[in-house]
Structure 1
């Protein structure tokens, strides 16, 4: 694989999309390194990648402690079991999969500092996906407002693998509208200023609909 070429292509595509959409806010590209080893991840960092994302706690911790670089930002993007919160939460800069009140309460109990979290919403209502349904959000925020270690920076959502581009864009569009409405509530520690959505196959659609963080894995490591 040609990591330098792949990285250059991704960043160029994102820059063009940001310019075309006249976005006031930058789009941060998270390199999802769950399928590659520490050495390959280190090469990416040496090429200038600053945002790293992992799905699993063990892989996150392995890379956190071994990959070296200035100003790295670490994203835990996969589901987190409550029993593992204590092992990892203080190393996480952004947690993208807050999908239950009990998990939030465990983070509140274990974290020694506030954690920037994305609330995972299941807009497509897929049974196989985690996340809150849209109609659950208002009641949920009342409970989360009691937890001072949780900072809700925005929503995270995913689209069904088999969805058409139109269907994916509709889901991303709905996520943006919900995020904007939640931001208007101006709840303490809930700015809802970011959107985590879009992966290798659909990040262009996500950026057009307001994504500020995109989670890209396969496109970095293609042959």
Structure 2
């Protein structure tokens, strides 16, 4: 079996620098979007961990820290921070590393990578804000937002915006791998790390598609544009996101 190797694809060495840890040549275009996604992922992981402590202190009968209203606010924020936002932001960082850095190539369309990050961050912050300040007029979505709960339309918009941003990031990854292959940035078969990330990206696409369809359907229902929503079919679509999002980082790692 041929061992894949990489070779320089640009004569402008000023566009590259050498990583002191991995010894890989890194194109300047990939570092900022990779790092900002990785840092954002860790921030959401930290927030989720703090919220988990608040939940534990509330369930501890001797403390009972939060009242019921705030308990479900914190529970919703914890679920989305730990099970969606942290995982997908880190997944995007892994995809950028496994495509541009492992293949010794530039990141195709860094502007699109920044647009993706902006949409993902904006969607996540909007969703968190709605959950925190919506009051009692709407139900807390928790993780699943099962129909027929009365979910705030802005929260549903936030989830769809986040999904669109993630789709754009996946497009940047696939385009980078395709261009690196076309321009022969490496020889032999696709490196194992990139192949694993490619599988993870396919799972992410399927997961996000299911989630986007489910939440768009529920948004249309919340706005009165769709009269009914099939609760069972909604669950099927949602769990494409719910289960798939737990598998993408496993596949990448």
TM-score (norm 1): 0.23
Structure index of larger Rg: 2
Indicate the structure whose relative CO is greater, using CA pairs within 8 Å and at least 6 residues apart.
2
TM-score by length of 2: 0.21
